[in-house]
Amino acid sequence: MPANFHCLWLAPSSRACKVLPMANASESLRQVQLSEFASQYLPQSLVVDIQENPSPLPGDAGFRRYYRWQSCPEVLGVDAPPETEDSLAFVRIADLLRSLGVHSPTVFAANLHQGLLLVENLGENSYQDGLSAENTAALYARALDALLKMQCCAERPAWLPLYGEAQLRQEMSLFPTWFVEQLLGYPLSVEEEEQINQVFDWLIQMALDQPQVLVHRDYHCRNLILTADNCPGVIDFQDAVWGPVTYDLVSLMRDCYVRWQPARVEAELESYLARLADQGVILEHTIPGLHRNFDAMGLQRHIKVLGIFSRLWLRDGKPGYLADLPLVMRYVLEVAGQLEQTRDFADWMQNKLVPLAQQQDWYRGWRQAGDDKTLW
């Protein structure tokens, strides 16, 4: 079989193996390919009139592009370039989440080699779009219910990666490279690099020393979709791993796009950890220590995010995430300043980096960052 042929994945009730030629395509050609793909492989109940090309939808932080047919709104076409996007992981994890009772999108068909997918459209509005003073408590209760279902996954599938030391360190390395040196223009000394690496060592150990579970890895208000029954649709899960039990919790409770009141974070964290203990995912006597793991895990995530958001602008030309940097800085500075192992790092960041950030157009005072986005 030629190298540019592949196996086609078809959804649940009609799996088959077919060969289709691979093509390097422009965006317009990809739209045509998606329409042809949909016409051939969608369930007949969904094919109304799908001859027209789909319309593009706003993208996300990755390289995937999304399309929708006006005549078939239940379906999204996904252009997921195989050189950057792992469509097989998307298909596998979508199936796994549904098996756990989580509302993830059905994958109708996937051309894994070309990176073309047909997936269920769960809705148009994310939690971020629809949160209000009246519904926040109910929506987040359901988000925590869905997270509990994920974290009760009994064992790691053999194909699911472990969230290990190398990946945790590589993620945090984006901070000195993209945020410190590239965005802020601050040249690190050898001594400063060593100080940063010592902080990274401790954060990695704190991540590995807690119970390991199924981790979505981007569980926040933009990846939770409002649905008719208020049960969140869960998307953007293709980077899932088996890792620290507090990771998704801190992604949700110290969200980079909306802010919870600290007292609410503590109350909901305590309640949720008790539920995990009731389910046997963690041991009850470990709950006090997991509060510290939660803080350290959030620090790891937010250090990483400072690098990612900077890279999205400098490398990928996506400026929209710059406005979210001050809130992420607030999380880093507040938490690092409270932990003995990272207090010197917080002081260094405050003295060396904040003055440089203040010179940037995107900067807003970090101590108040997110106050206008605090709903709970």
Whether the per-residue pLDDT at 228 is higher than 50: the answer is yes
By mean pLDDT, which of 51-60, 77-86, 270-279, 308-317 is the weakest?
Answer: 51-60
Whether the per-residue pLDDT at 252 is higher than 80: the answer is yes
Mean pLDDT over 92-114 rounds to: 95
Whether the per-residue pLDDT at 204 is higher than 70: the answer is yes
Mean pLDDT over 107-123 rounds to: 93
* CA dihedral for 52, 56, 57, 59, sign (positive or negative): positive
Round to whole Å and give the CA distance between 124 and 136. 18
pTM (two decimals): 0.90
- Sheet containing 116-120: which strands, arranged edge to edge? 8-10, 107-111, 116-120, 72-79, 65-69, 55-57
Confidence at 9, pLDDT banded by 50, 70, 90: low
> What is the average pLDDT value for the chain, to the nearest integer?
90
133, exposed or middle or buried, with CB in 10 Å at 0-12, 13-18, 19+?
Answer: exposed
Confidence at 170, pLDDT banded by 50, 70, 90: very high
Whether the per-residue pLDDT at 50 is higher than 80: the answer is no
By mean pLDDT, which of 130-139, 278-287, 336-345 is the weakest?
Answer: 130-139
Whether the per-residue pLDDT at 78 is higher than 70: the answer is yes
Mean pLDDT over 58-67 rounds to: 77
Q: pLDDT per residue over 206-216, tens digit each?
A: 999 999 999 99
The pLDDT of residue 59: 64
Mean pLDDT over 78-82 rounds to: 91
Confidence at 21, pLDDT banded by 50, 70, 90: very low
The pLDDT of residue 27: 75
Whether the per-residue pLDDT at 41 is higher than 80: the answer is yes
244, two tokens: 């620290």
Q: Give the CA dihedral 194, 198, 204, 205, nearest 10 degrees.
A: 150
Round to whole Å and give the CA distance between 165 and 243. 10
Residue 241 or residue 46, greater confidence = 241
% of the chain residues with pLDDT over 90: 76
Whether the per-residue pLDDT at 180 is higher than 80: the answer is yes
Mean pLDDT over 340-356 rounds to: 98
Measured in degrees and rounded to the nearest 5, phi and psi for residue 286 equal -90, -5
Residue 10 or residue 137, greater confidence = 137
Q: Which residues contact 362 (CB under 8 A, 6 or more apart)?
A: 322, 323, 325, 326
The pLDDT of residue 310: 98
